[in-house]
Structure 1
Amino acid sequence: MTAGSSSSAAPPAGDAPAAPPSPRRITAEVLIVLGLSLGQSGVYAAMSLADKLTRGPLAGQTTTLNPVLNEREYFDLAYQLLDIGFALMPVALVLFLLSGTGVSAVRQLGLTFDQPLRTIGAGVGLAAIIAVGTIGVYTGGRALGITTALVPAALDDYWWTVPVLVLSALRHAVLEEVIVVGYLFIRLRHLGWSTPAIIITSALLRGSYHLYQGFGPFIGNVLMGLLFAWFYARTRRVMPLVIAHALIDITGFVGYALLGPVLDLGT
């Protein structure tokens, strides 16, 4: 190669902006991400519901969240922390995939505290709306016999019980809102989906992985999904959704752990 031709050579490929993924690649990516995370949970939840329906009325059955994973205290703690940590790996995968464009995945999702007071305020407001609706849907579902009794926390009473329940709540909040709302919106937009179609798809997916609790929680989570996806469509901010979801789950998990046995909640 001559000196003249060397001066006009193209820059290294690593210096060029990343080309957007093809629609086929995006479709495959979405299916893989969901297959490793909440899409898989939806399939198992549907199977669990079918199993419960063949055993007897849903009203007479109980669903336990946050169960004991080992009868020995520190092995249980280790298993709980491992379960929480590995459950968040799909979130790490999503952040890695979205950052391939060279734009911060955190900023693409709106997973930031750029406006702290406004972000926290929106999260608290959404949590209040969902909390009231959740109580109504659960009570109605139990009365109609289409919802199992829920036990939000069944951990033994250790010094680490409350911190682990808080971490579990944060795990659910980050995993669900980042993948089912933020990631799905970004990728389905790349595929040309309309906003209403994305909102409905996101809400149905959210409802699907709660089917193991009965039809009432499915309906309640679809309604929650519609509100959360609509909010994201307007704001492109996933952080308020994470805050709202975390507040709801922390209240349910920790509240039940502290007061459930005394007040006989969840029946």
Structure 2
Amino acid sequence: MDLHTHQELLRRVACNMNLQVEEVVEVEDPVVDILSAEAPSRVALPVIRTIQADAKTIWQSPVSIPPMAKGVERKYFVTSKEYKYLYMHPQPCSLVVALVNEKEQHSQQALAPKSKDTRRLDLFGGKVYSAGGLQLRVANEQALLSQYDYNSWHSMEKFKELVPQESREEFGAVVEEGKKVARTSLQASLDTADSAARTLASGIAMRLISRLQVSGLPPELQQTLQDLPFDGQGLFSEKTDSRLQSSYTNKIKTSRILLKGKRQNATFIVNTERIIVSS
């Protein structure tokens, strides 16, 4: 659905519900605005009272509030076989964890860093991750319901011939409007899913950074490791350990080459001095 069609649909929604909307005019380049008859505008819809009230209630304690409302998580399910990461926090299994444990002198593998500030970042990242996982499941269900809604409206077309002739055009218009709403809802659910995936990624990043910061690894290596792909199997990418080992292997090789070069250079200098003395 193009922008113009989408905006017209929102105007009809607002009219149907007697909503007070705003027309937000986009600022264009004054040099080329003569090419269009009028500046494009977007419909700004009001936030409904229920959403406003819920948001204000949650914001009364923004730090201590749980990442999801009690009971809401049980409403939205996906198959857990392939998507366990949407229900459970991925385990931080990596050599990075071993480095953190060694540096913080843990007697056994710890689930979170020892430092208070770092632990707080890890816990906050966990809350963000949980919220993102739930949002993704909600968006998935919304997408399926939108497609079901579209299919239901589409199936109504077979009854068009049963409608009196004078009402068929109106009947067809109602069906098309229903299909447009379903398509718009589907797009909204996909946009929600995109936002949810980014929220989940933010939670992953916080938990990764909380461990990398205390790992003692070089900053440039931390930057590389924290942006490796997330596969849902563990907090750290499966490529993390191989990258880490490769980095250290390269450093060892480089050190050996430099050491060998220094030795060869020293030998050359000694031999040169001997030649000079003997001559």
When normalised by structure 1's length, the TM-score is: 0.28
Structure with the higher fraction of residues in helix conformation: 1
Structure 2-normalised TM-score? 0.27
Higher relative contact order structure (alpha carbons within 8 Å, sequence separation ≥ 6): 1
Greater Rg, structure 1 or structure 2? 2
